[in-house]
Amino acid sequence: MIGRETVEVFPREEDDPATDRNGKPRWRFPEVGTPVRGCAFSEGASDEPLEVGRNATISDAQLLAPVGTAVSEHDRVRARGRMYEVDGQPQEWRSRTMSRRPGLVVNLNRVEG
């Protein structure tokens, strides 16, 4: 166990019909996520880019999840009541001083507005 937080993972699924009008796959996310216990979660920096006609906030976060957690770069994660997009491929967290594999590092981001 890395931490004491429980998050929910929402894996991206292919929707029906299988393609949109441009021939690209349609994707959806389940309404109920898969709980993952024993995580650590850290909210990072946020940014408010200046764009005319837009009031946006972009927030970064990092999730440390147990080894074997099923999460990919296409998924969403709900942590502390907020929904995040997985940013890039999750990476296995390794230490040169320990033989065990403590878990996965999952970078997250959230855009509002």
pLDDT digit string (tens) for 71-87?
Answer: 999 999 999 999 999 99
What φ, ψ does residue 18 adopt, rounded to 5°? -65, -25
What pLDDT is recorded for position 20?
74
Domains observed in the chain: 5-112 (2.40.10.370)
What pLDDT is recorded for position 63?
97
Question: Mean pLDDT for the chain?
Answer: 86
Q: Other CB atoms closer than 10 Å to residue 107's CB: what's the count? A: 18
- Whole-model pTM? 0.81
What pLDDT is recorded for position 57?
83
Residue 16 has pLDDT above 70, yes or no: no
- Mean pLDDT of the 32-38 span: 96
- Secondary structure (H, E, C), 5-74: EEEEEECCEEEEEEECCCCCEEEECCCCCEEEEEEEEEEEEEECCEECCEECEEEEEEEEEECCCCCCCC
